[in-house]
Structure 1
Amino acid sequence: MILVTGATGLVGSHLVLHLVEQDQKVKALYRDENGKQKVKTVFEYYNKQELFDKIHWCHADILDIPTLEVAFQDVNYVYHCAALISFDPKKEENLRKTNIEGTQNIASFCIDFKINKLCYVSSIAALGDLAPHETIVTEECEWNPEIQHNDYAISKYGAEMEVWRAQQEGLDVVVVNPGVILGPLFWTEGSGEIYAKVKNGLPFYTKGSTGFICVNDLVKCMFLLMQSTIVNEKFILISENKTYQELVFTIAEILQVKKPKLHAGKLLTSFAWRTDWFFATFFGKKRTLTKDLASALHTKDFYSNEKIIKQLDYKFLKVDSYMAYLKETNL
């Protein structure tokens, strides 16, 4: 039996679908009926409704020990996808609790229940920092605690430390560090907000860059790693590095809407995040652009996917091709 945490999110729902397609027995964690409905919508999106009933649902929370006691019964493999994603400084405590303490719980239960293998979904945000002589981020880059990192990155790095702690205690693990994950249906969460903003007429673009991956490639790589004899290693999972300008322009073309016309430099985004803070602080508006996020939009990071390609001989789908596919399937 395979246990999937975070099964009702973008990655978890696609992973559950892929697993049942491979005739795997899956136990999926959920916190409310709305979450289960999201997963059902994903199955319907891919015309796989008949597979939805194969899921073994378990009402549990990664921060609730008694529910995890029940969830881990008869489980052999674990995919830990559950996480909180936020750049809002007010969410620091929640980030640390969910991402670090939650992962600590999962890792500890894996040891106690003698789980065969754990796959942890981390993030490129948790990767190490470039040394002066380096130009591209690899799995070998070392985390520099003297460099400023945002709260989300710190929480994911801390979560990885919990996984490696469990590995030292005898648990076989693989850690994946995906880039920005592109996928359908989750339009108000994570990267899904990009589609909605472009569709609604996003006026600005920035020239920062990062790594991107489609959710289908991500879950396929996770499954292949878990099926393999590879243990106790981490892998950067991206299909390619792209600028944010290239991404939003591609989305605009696919959606047949106007492309953003104004290049937002650091001065403009600096003003924008301060304005966002003002309205959030004094009028209760939800934060949409924080200082950390504004900084990330200008950072030009480049990531290597050579290790995963070499290990699995995997061919990633290019972002432009994936965006066209989403359009064909009623993005």
Structure 2
Amino acid sequence: MVFVTGGSGLIGSFLISALVARGHTVRALYRGQIPATTVAMQVEWVEGDILDGLLIRQALDGVTHVFHCAGLVSYAPQDEDALQQINVEGTANLVDACLDRPGIRLCHVSSVAALGGGSSTPEHAPQQPQVLTEDAKWDLGASHGAYATSKYLGELEVWRGVSEGLSAVMVNPSVVLGPADWERSSTRLFRYAFDEHAFYTPGNINFVDVRDVVEAMLRLLFDTAISGQRFVLSAGAVPLHDFLAQAAACFHKKAPRVAVPDWAAEVIWRAEHLRSLLTGARPLITKDTARAGRKSVLYQSKSLQQVTGLVFRPLADSIQWCCQGLNKNSVGSGVVVVY
């Protein structure tokens, strides 16, 4: 019996399909509505919230393996409390529930943001890429965004569980690519390219295919007895403009042409912050999102490849797969996509 949190998300949905295909019995947590997937009828769904500790304990009855994919990704100042609750307190609830059932193995989905890299200010950003691996140390004296901090603190809850006897591994994916909802997660990058926006920000994007993320998680939890380690999942890095240009070409659209200078991005996020304070609306761009692409960071996955032998898919294959899936599910069905 395998328990999955975050089954309606990008990673969780592909993970559940892979688990069912391999013959595993799957129980998954959901909120609101059961995800409309091809394998939904083969899953035992549990309605509830990761913050409900009693529910989580009951959901682990008979479970041998747990994949914790639930989490909130947000850079909006309004979501700081929610990030703390979901990414930290929710993870603590799950860890405590696992500790109550000895023998369970846990795979926790973290993020490269939890490595703490790229914290320098834009004007002091290094010219050469900062290379980060699983051994990166969180700099307590540096300035970190609320999302990165919540993922780091969530990892600390897993480390606490390991110190108390829990068998657990963590994965730290970079930007996960997959054909999902146009409105959510990294798929918005494809939507941006599809809508032929002219502007782009200089900087790089680290990427990984969701199918490789799922395969890595399955190999680490089922094929090894490793515990108390984390693994970076990233296939490489390319300039954001190159990524958008490839995606646009796949959609037969025009690529972005105008680079947004650093000073303009700084003005825009400050104006958006002021607008959000005056109106209560969510900012379209924040300080973290404005600066993220300008931090020169390269994440390396040598540890994963040494342990599992997994070879990541090249970017061109991932982009083509994503565009085909999005064309079929959204564009081809007549849905008008507006950014």
Spell out, residue by residue over 1:46-92, the C-alpha distance to the aligned partner (whole angstroms, 9 max, x if none): xxx3x332111111211012322321111111100100100111211
The answer for unaligned runs of 5 or more in structure 1 is 44-48
CA shift, 1:324, in A, is 1.0
- Mapped contact 2:118–2:297 kept (Cα < 8 A): no
* Length-normalised TM-score, structure 1: 0.92
CA shift in 2, pair 1:328/1:196, >3 Å: closer
Mapping 1:262-277, distance limit 5 Å? 262-277=258-273
Q: Retained in 2: the 8 A contact 1:81–1:120?
A: yes
Q: Retained in 2: the 8 A contact 1:238–1:305?
A: yes
Q: Indicate if the aligned counterparts of 2:118 and 2:295 stay in contact, CA closer than 8 A.
A: no
Percent identity reads 32
User: Where do residues 1-331 of structure 1 align in structure 2 (5 Å cutoff)?
Assistant: 1-33=1-33, 36-37=34-35, 40=36, 43=37, 49=38, 51-129=39-117, 135-227=130-222, 228-331=224-327
Give 3-state SS (helix, strand or coil) of 2:29's partner.
Answer: strand
> For residues 24 and 58 of structure 2, what CA distance do their matches in structure 1 show?
20
* Cα distance between partner residues in 2 of 1:163 and 1:173: 7
Question: Amino acid of the residue matched to residue 64 of structure 1?
Answer: D
Q: Classify 1:187/1:130 alpha carbon distance in 2 versus 1 (closer, same or farther; 3 Å).
A: closer
How far does the alpha carbon of each residue in 1:227-251 deviate from its partner, in whole angstroms, 9 at most, with x for none?
1222221100011112211211111
- Out of 232-241 and 280-289, give the one that drifted further: 280-289
Distance in 1, matches of 2:269 and 2:209, equals 28
Q: 1:157 to 1:189 in 2, by over 3 A?
A: same
* Letter of the structure 2 residue corresponding to residue 72 of structure 1: L
What is the TM-score with the length of structure 2 in the denominator?
0.89
* Matching residue's letter, 2:219: L
Aligned partners of 2:116 and 2:144 also within 8 Å = no
Indicate conservation of the 8 Å contact 2:130/2:296, yes or no: no
Q: Secondary structure at the match of 2:299?
A: coil
Verify the 8 A CA contact 1:28 1:58 in the aligned structure 2: yes
AA of the residue aligned to 1:292: D
In 2, are the aligned partners of 1:199 and 1:255 still within 8 Å (CA)?
yes
Shift of residue 285, structure 1, vs aligned partner: 3.8
SS for the counterpart of 1:136 is strand
Give 1:284 deviation, angstroms.
Answer: 4.4
Looking at structure 2, the residues matched to 100 and 113 of structure 1 have their Cα atoms a distance apart, in angstroms, of 21
Q: CA deviation at 1:266?
A: 1.0
Of 20-29 and 246-255, the range deviating more from structure 2: 246-255
Query: Structure 1 pair 134/207, CA: closer, same or farther in 2 (3 Å)?
Result: closer
Cα 1:213–1:134 change in 2 (3 A) is closer
Runs (4+) of structure 1 exceeding 4 A deviation are: 130-134
- In structure 2, what is the Cα distance between the partners aligned to 1:149 and 1:284? 24
SS in 1 for 2:90: helix
Q: Answer yes or no: is the 8 Å Cα contact 2:179–2:325 preserved in 1.
A: no
Task: Tell me the CA shift for residue 330 of structure 1.
Answer: 4.5
Q: Is the 8 Å Cα contact of residues 75 and 115 (structure 1) preserved in structure 2? A: no
C-alpha distance in 1, partners of 2:87/2:132? 23
| Structure-2 change in CA distance of 1:297 and 1:200 (3 Å) | same
Structure-2 separation of matches of 1:273 and 1:200: 22
Q: CA RMSD in A?
A: 1.9
User: CA 1:147 to 1:330, structure 2 compared with 1: closer, same or farther past 3 Å?
Assistant: closer
Q: Return 88-97 or 189-198, whichever deviates more.
A: 189-198
Distance 1:121 1:319 in 2: 22
SS in 2 for 1:302: strand
Determine the structure 1 residue equivalent to 2:122: none
Equivalent AA in structure 1 for residue 249 of structure 2: E
Which residue pairs with 2:123 in the alignment?
none
In structure 1, C-alpha distance between the alignment counterparts of 2:326 and 2:110, rounded to whole Å: 29
SS in 2 for 1:174: strand
